[in-house]
Amino acid sequence: MIKIYALIDPTTNRIRYVGKTAQTLQKRLKEHLSPARLKKDSAKNVWLRSLKVRPVIVVLEECTKKEAEASEIFWIRLLKMTGNDLVNSTIGGNSWR
């Protein structure tokens, strides 16, 4: 199963990023926080570098690989429409980790 997940700012309890993975959540979070990856200046990485604490990672949905791209797009769209200030650089559905 594929997990659609959110990274949450623990200081505000707001969702800031949505992604998808076939890995464990802890492994995926470790990848997000790796020094080599954080060197890139994407909006997500700027946000992660600014945090004084680790973000919280939670599952929003579990789905099949076939459903994953549409599900990720759905969650990004829904969360943006409901006022979440997401740092995703795309509308979703286009990359895998």
Q: Is the pLDDT of residue 97 over 90?
A: no
pTM (two decimals): 0.91
Q: What is the mean pLDDT of residues 50-73?
A: 96
Q: How confident is the model at residue 45 (pLDDT cuts 50, 70, 90)?
A: very high
| ∠ CA 59-84-20, rounded to 5° | 30
Mean pLDDT, residues 33-46: 90
Residue 80's SS3 state is helix
- Does 35 or 15 have the greater pLDDT score? 15
Q: What does the domain layout of the chain look like in residue ranges? A: 2-81
Among candidate residues 22, 25, 26, the one with its CA nearest the CA of residue 66: 22
The answer to whether 76 and 85 are in contact (CB under 8 A) is no
pLDDT, residue 3, reads 98
Q: Vertex 58, ends 25 and 74: CA angle to 5°? A: 105
Domain 2-81 class, CATH top level? alpha beta
